[in-house]
Structure 1
Amino acid sequence: MQIIVLRHFSFDDPSVIISWAEHAGHELVVHDPADGITREWLHSLDVLVVLGGPMSVYQEIEYPWLIQEKAFVKRAIEMGKKVLGICLGAQMISEILGGTVFTNGDQKEIGWHQVQRNVEYHPWLAHIPDQFTSFSWHGDTFSLPEGARNLMYSEACNHQAFAYGEHVLGLQFHLESTPQCIQQMLSRWSHELRDLPFIQNDSVIREGMLVHSENSKMLLRGILDQIALT
């Protein structure tokens, strides 16, 4: 398979996805959308992964390259490519499909939080447990686009995962985040660790890395295995 990963900040770490692709014999390239996107990539593309970022999908004035990226992701969906969106990527997919992205008020989620599946089924989540803990760092949320199915929720956020057909999946949480990336986030964005119900402090987040990171990696590899099979 030919896989393209769109990464939106320099210290984001897609190494879990890269190592999975290398082990499975797939070809993978990582691009920063701010450097430009070539529509010709779509011809050979099998899987598109759109990662998270500190910007919001509605900040097109501050980040004008978002316009081109959204057009690229929209065309990939229309062509029936397999598309996985994570955090910003999931919000982008929602907007592209007609949903709305907006701030989640005081329900910002930062840290290790429980995610709960509902009764909806999607083949890419075939081996994901009914309840698990994943890393989150987001202040925006989104409405469910028409025709999409809500798959997961948390205490703070009703829409943690959704599917559009069988080839598009959005995840609000970060199974891909490595300890190295999380440490950088804590260092650079420490001002966001405010005293709010769903924001954990620095020490709790760092302690959780030892407990949850390896399990998160295995869950993501399971999703990627299913993407390759279907």
Structure 2
Amino acid sequence: MKTCIAIRHVAFEDLGSFEQPLGDAGFAIQYREAGWDELDAVDPLSPDLMVVLGGPIGAYEDEAYPFIAHELALIEARLRSGKPIIGICLGAQLMARALGAKVYPNGGVKEIGWSALSLSEAGKSSSLAVLDGVPVLHWHGDTFDLPDGATLLASTPVTRNQAFCWGKAAVGLQFHVEATELGLERWFIGHANEISSVAGLSVPALRAETRRCASALEECGPEVLTRFLSDIVLG
């Protein structure tokens, strides 16, 4: 059986819609909890797939969260190995930083809610092609510079670097492709303070937007994963 190690930063930001297609593809999923499990004890070469998930902290907050140093070392070693890795939101920011790029606040703007991506030409021929015109979930206040050697796959008006690939087996997604309508109910609780701090944002408004948009993403999100696995001959 193939293995997938998912690094999780908060319990409710999990693999979401990715879990079923991973199981269908023969992957045994193992979560590693950042700040709790010893990430420096994880063998970067052992899993067939590594997924670094999102979270509410900054990829640059090393002083507040010392585990970041171990997580960066793990991600860097994984990237050097050429074995498959996917980063989502904070995970994409950590991948960018591990590749030498800067991560920083996105001009004081929080991009929270649903909107479609603008795919680059490379994005249109990548596993993200199925997302063309499909609203995806955005939930971030930070952004990153495009790492040297990376290819830009997608943008939004608020955030230019929404997705990149580095080689064939590494992809970073600033947006949340794995989000589900049911799963977001936990986000509305866990991120209550952040939601209330953004002018014009509310749980009822986000819930209504989620009801309109989530079903399309729940259909397309797993296809992104399936195509990625197929491209790297793991599916």
Deviation at residue 46 of structure 1 after TM alignment: 1.4
Q: Secondary structure at the match of 2:44?
A: helix
Match of 2:14 in 1: 13
Q: Secondary structure of the residue that 2:117 maps to in structure 1?
A: strand
- Alignment check: 8 A CA contact 1:117 1:131 kept: no
Unaligned ranges ≥5, structure 2: none
Pairing partner for 1:185 from 184, 187, 209: 187
1:92 aligns with 2:94: yes
8 Å CA contact 1:123, 1:226 repeated in 2: no
Distance 1:27 1:189, change over 3 A: closer
Q: Does 1:212 align with 2:217?
A: no
C-alpha separation between the residues in 2 aligned to 1:72 and 1:124? Answer: 26
Distance in 1 (alpha carbons) for counterparts of 2:131 and 2:191: 31
Secondary structure (helix, strand or coil) at the match of 2:13 reads coil
User: How far has the Cα of 1:184 moved from its partner?
Assistant: 2.4
Report the 3-state secondary structure (helix = DSSP H, G, I; strand = E; otherwise coil) of the residue aligned with 1:207. helix
Q: Which residue of 1 aligns with 2:4?
A: 3
What does residue 167 of structure 1 align with?
A: 169
The aligned counterpart of 2:147 is 145
Percent same amino acid among aligned pairs?
Answer: 29
Q: In 2, distance between residues paired with 1:201 and 1:19?
A: 30
Residue pair 1:112, 1:135 contacting (<8 A) in 2 also: yes
State the Cα distance separating 1:132 from its structure 2 match: 2.0
**Distance (whole Å) between structure 1 residues aligned to residue 63 and residue 164 of structure 2:** 27
**Higher mean displacement: 50-59 or 39-48:** 39-48
Instruction: Verify the 8 A CA contact 1:39 1:72 in the aligned structure 2.
Output: no
SS of residue in 2 equivalent to 1:54: coil
Q: Deviations over 1:2-54 (max 9, x none)?
A: 21111100222324222211122222211112211255533431111000001
Q: Is the 8 A contact 1:124 1:224 kept in 2?
A: no
Judge which range, 219-228 or 132-141, deviates more.
219-228
Between the aligned partners of 1:227 and 1:2, the Cα distance in structure 2 is: 16
Question: 1:62 maps to which residue?
Answer: 64
**Match for residue 105 of structure 2 among 103, 106, 115:** 103
Over aligned residues, Cα RMSD in angstroms? 2.0
Question: What's the TM-score once normalised by structure 2's chain length?
Answer: 0.89
Distance 1:203 1:100 in 2: 35
CA gap of 1:73–1:144, structure 2 versus 1, over 3 A, is same
SS of 1:132's partner is coil
* TM-aligned CA distance change 1:140 to 1:17, over 3 Å: same
The separation in 1 between residues aligned to 2:149 and 2:20, in whole angstroms, is 33
TM-score (norm 1): 0.90
| 1:228 Cα deviation after fit | 2.0
Amino acid of the residue matched to residue 76 of structure 1? R
Amino acid across the alignment from 1:142: F
Secondary structure of the structure 2 residue equivalent to 1:175:
coil
CA distance in 1, matches of 2:25, 2:165: 24
Alpha-carbon deviation of 1:63?
0.9
Distance 1:92 1:182 in 2: 23
Alignment CA distance shift 1:156-1:28 (3 Å): same
Letter in 2 for 1:206: R
